[in-house]
Amino acid sequence: MEDTVYNSPIGNLHISANNRGLTGIHYPKDAVEELQNSSPSNPHLKSAFRELDLYFSGKLQTFDTPLDAVGTPFQKSVWNELSKLPFGTTVCYGEIAERIGNLKASRAVGLANNRNPISIIVPCHRVIGKDGKLIGYGGKIWRKEWLLKHEGILL
């Protein structure tokens, strides 16, 4: 396992990977902020850095870096659906529940979305409230708003 920090336009991102893929992209707490941005040796971290550079510069809409997120089968089904969401689109929790075949699982989808360990690449920021409001983002609403503006969803 290797950990590093990526300096992004929305703050430092704590990124981790193992030999199978990325295991996390998190908005770090103060103690983690002290990690230095480094040149990672892990090929999945190198790929994530390259793709995040392209994404934040507006030149990438789909990520290809392998992922190795740890979660329950239900969480993984939600994260898999999130990964299918196209750049520049949004959905609500109920739509994700419908797509995974469990119409009554909107709240559980919200909890799985909240536990998404690979922010941005698994685009939980593209999930909004049924009424169109920006709700429920562990990286703080201002980051969600920034990402959605970056993707042309919000003006």
Q: With 60 as the cut, is the pLDDT of residue 95 above it?
A: yes
Q: For domain 73-150, which CATH number applies: 3.40.50.720, 1.10.10.10, 3.40.630.30, 3.40.50.1010?
A: 1.10.10.10
Using alpha carbons, select from 116, 125, 130 the residue that is nearest to residue 76.
116
Instruction: Assess whether 92 carries a catalytic annotation.
Output: no
Residues of the chain with CATH 1.10.10.10: 73-150
Residue 26: the pLDDT is 92
Q: With 50 as the cut, is the pLDDT of residue 35 above it?
A: yes
Q: For CA atoms 88, 117, 72, 68, give the dihedral sign.
A: positive
What average pLDDT does the segment 7-18 reach? 94
Pairing state between β 2-8 and 11-17: antiparallel
Residue 30: the pLDDT is 52
Helix (H) or strand (E) holding 17: strand 11-17
Q: For domain 2-56, which CATH number applies: 3.30.160, 1.10.10, 1.25.40, 1.10.287?
A: 3.30.160
Please identify which of the residues 45, 118, 122, 124 carries the catalytic annotation.
124
What percentage of the chain has pLDDT greater than the value 70?
Answer: 93
How many other CB atoms sit within 10 Å of the CB of residue 125? Answer: 27
Q: For CA atoms 6, 11, 16, 20, give the dihedral sign.
A: negative
For residues 38 and 1, which has the higher predicted lDDT (pLDDT)? 1
- What is the per-residue pLDDT across 36-90, written as a single tens digit (0 to 9) for each? 556 789 999 999 999 999 999 999 999 999 999 999 999 999 999 999 999 999 9
Instruction: Report yes or no: 2 and 45 within 8 Å, Cβ to Cβ.
Output: yes
Residues of the chain with CATH 3.30.160: 2-56
- What's the pTM? 0.91
Residue 154: the pLDDT is 84
- 22 φ/ψ angles, rounded to the nearest 5 degrees: -70, 140
Instruction: Report yes or no: 42 and 23 within 8 Å, Cβ to Cβ.
Output: no
CA 76, distance to chain mean position in Å, is: 13
Cα–Cα distance measured from residue 58 to residue 124, given in angstroms and rounded to the nearest whole number: 19
How many other CB atoms sit within 10 Å of the CB of residue 13? Answer: 23
Return the amino acid letter for 55.
Y
Residue 31: the pLDDT is 46
